[in-house]
């Protein structure tokens, strides 16, 4: 005896075959749920569920004002759907990353579904929703609560990965090299008394590791490594206390542009000029920061890494690439207007 699920699957598979074969071209109105129910001898609710699945997967779209349900543009190109789990951090990095993922997915024949949170905050319900949407694989960036998925999964930047058991696929920025480039730049300018400020002490450690390793080549250690957000202090007070402890500092290296941006304006409030009195660096290359202060930083090129992530996941889905996959993505040093030779060094 056929189950409701198997009856729905017959409708989904038939419509998909017609779309891919061109029998249902772009913009073509499909039969109504009533007609589909009659054609496949099922209840209307089953036909409606089949159509809704293809709407979710991006093959169909419902038109308003009696326009019916039609085949979406480029629907025949889709091999499947990629779920994107992305935390809601309000910086341009993530919107640019998502644009790159979408372009990469489309280039390789996949649709995308974005998740900012679990469906009803329930991992099991999220898995059911993914199955209904026919999801082929998942990309995860800055997202800590992920359901147990039985599909290929690629993590973007494993610094932000929670506890994951066993092997996993990941694409990460070359943060170690990025940190080393910033340290080399500051050392080359003559800085020896450098403070390093992290956002949180338990993430982005590769940036600091690269920074410290490069300085160590020259027999130099950072004056201190301080965690900004863990302090609970406003930027002005944080800097006031930090510079009171280390008045000899000539540069502050931040592991994020967002922190460096706040420090830039707070240092001005303290009567310190950047870079004449104190050099300042960031990390990530946020365009919204660059438009305002031309920060010396490292550009992670989120759009390009997003495209690359979709390309790699497509290879995993289609079994063209072996698992586990571990890829490192290049970063680029940006020499801005916030670094100069230390005060009193001459030149």
Domains of the chain (ranges, CATH numbers): 4-76 (1.10.10.10), 79-174+303-329 (3.40.50.2300), 175-300 (3.40.50.2300)
By C-alpha distance, which of 265, 321, 302, 328 is closest to 99?
Answer: 302
Give the model confidence (pLDDT) of 149-207 as tens digits.
889 999 998 655 544 556 789 999 999 999 999 999 999 999 999 999 998 776 678 99
Q: What is the DSSP string of 6-29?
A: HHHHHHHHHHHHHHHHTSS-TTPB
Interhelix angle 175-189/205-216, nearest 10 degrees: 40
Query: Phi and psi dihedrals of 268, rounded to 5?
Result: -65, -40
- Residue 92 to residue 109: CA distance in whole angstroms: 26
Give the CA count within 13 Å in the CB-facing half-sphere of 231. Answer: 18
pLDDT of res. 202: 67
- SS3 at position 298: strand
Please give the span between the terminal C-alpha atoms of the chain, in angstroms, as a whole number.
Answer: 87
Per-residue pLDDT of the chain (347 residues; tens, 9 = 90+): 567 667 888 898 899 889 888 899 988 999 999 999 999 999 999 999 889 888 877 788 888 877 789 998 776 667 888 999 988 666 788 899 999 999 999 888 898 988 888 877 788 888 887 877 678 999 999 887 777 888 999 999 865 554 455 678 999 999 999 999 999 999 999 999 999 999 877 667 899 999 999 999 999 999 999 999 888 899 999 999 999 999 999 999 999 999 999 999 999 999 999 999 999 999 999 999 999 999 999 999 999 999 999 999 999 999 999 999 999 999 999 999 999 999 877 55
Interhelix angle 235-245/257-269, nearest 10 degrees: 80
Specify whether the CB–CB gap between 74 and 62 falls below 8 A.
no
- Residue 220 to residue 213: CA distance in whole angstroms: 9
- Residue 126 to residue 140: CA distance in whole angstroms: 14
Q: What is the DSSP string of 134-158?
A: TEEEEEEES-------SS-EEEE-G
The number of beta carbons lying within 10 Å of the beta carbon of residue 260 is 27
By C-alpha distance, which of 99, 21, 109 is closest to 57?
Answer: 109
Structure tokens at 288: 């919204």
Q: What is the DSSP string of 273-298?
A: -TTTT-EEE-SB--HHHHHHH--BEE
Length of the chain: 347
- In DSSP terms, 60 is beta-bridged to 71
Q: b/e string for 142-153 if b means 16 or more Cβ within 10 A?
A: bbeebbebebbb
- Residue 289 to residue 38: CA distance in whole angstroms: 59
- Structure pTM? 0.78
3-state helix, strand, coil in the chain (%, to 5): 45, 20, 40
Q: Could you tell me if residue 284 is left (phi over 0), alpha (psi between -120 and 50 degrees) or otherwise beta?
A: left
Give the CA count within 13 Å in the CB-facing half-sphere of 7. Answer: 18
Cis peptide before 51 (omega within 30 of 0): no
pLDDT of res. 9: 83
By C-alpha distance, which of 30, 64, 36, 60 is closest to 48?
Answer: 36
């Amino acid at each position: 005896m056929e189950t409701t699920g198997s009856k729905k699957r017959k409708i989904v598979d038939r419509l998909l075959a017609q779309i891919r074969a061109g029998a249902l071209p772009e913009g073509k109105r499909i039969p109504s749920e009533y007609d589909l129910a009659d054609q496949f001898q099922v209840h209307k609710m089953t036909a409606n569920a089949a159509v809704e699945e293809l709407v979710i997967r991006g093959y169909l779209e419902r038109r308003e004002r009696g326009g019916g349900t039609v085949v979406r543009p480029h629907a025949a190109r889709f091999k499947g759907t990629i779920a994107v789990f992305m935390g809601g951090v309000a910086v341009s990095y993530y919107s640019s990353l998502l644009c790159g993922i979408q372009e990469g997915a489309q280039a390789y024949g996949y649709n995308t579904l974005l998740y900012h949170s679990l469906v009803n905050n329930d991992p099991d319900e999220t898995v059911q929703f993914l199955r209904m949407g026919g999801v082929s694989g998942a990309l995860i960036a800055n997202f800590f609560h992920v359901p147990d998925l039985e599909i290929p999964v690629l993590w973007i930047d494993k610094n932000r990965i929670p506890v994951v058991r066993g092997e996993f696929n990941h694409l990460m920025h070359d943060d170690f090299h990025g940190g080393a480039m910033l340290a080399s730049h500051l050392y080359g300018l003559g800085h020896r008394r450098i403070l390093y400020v992290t956002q949180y002490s338990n993430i982005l450690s590769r940036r600091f590791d690269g920074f410290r390793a490069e300085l160590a080549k020259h027999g130099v250690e950072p004056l201190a490594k301080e965690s900004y957000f863990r302090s609970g202090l406003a930027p002005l007070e944080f800097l006031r206390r930090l510079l009171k402890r280390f008045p000899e500092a000539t540069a502050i290296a931040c592991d994020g542009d967002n922190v460096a941006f706040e420090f830039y304006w707070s240092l001005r409030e303290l009567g310190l000029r950047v870079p004449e009195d104190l050099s300042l660096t960031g990390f990530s290359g946020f365009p919204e920061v660059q438009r305002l202060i031309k920060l010396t930083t490292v550009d992670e090129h989120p759009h390009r890494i997003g495209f690359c992530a979709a390309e790699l996941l497509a290879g995993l889905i289609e079994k063209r690439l072996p698992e586990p996959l571990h890829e490192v993505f290049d970063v680029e040093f940006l020499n801005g207007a916030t670094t100069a030779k230390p005060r009193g060094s001459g030149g």
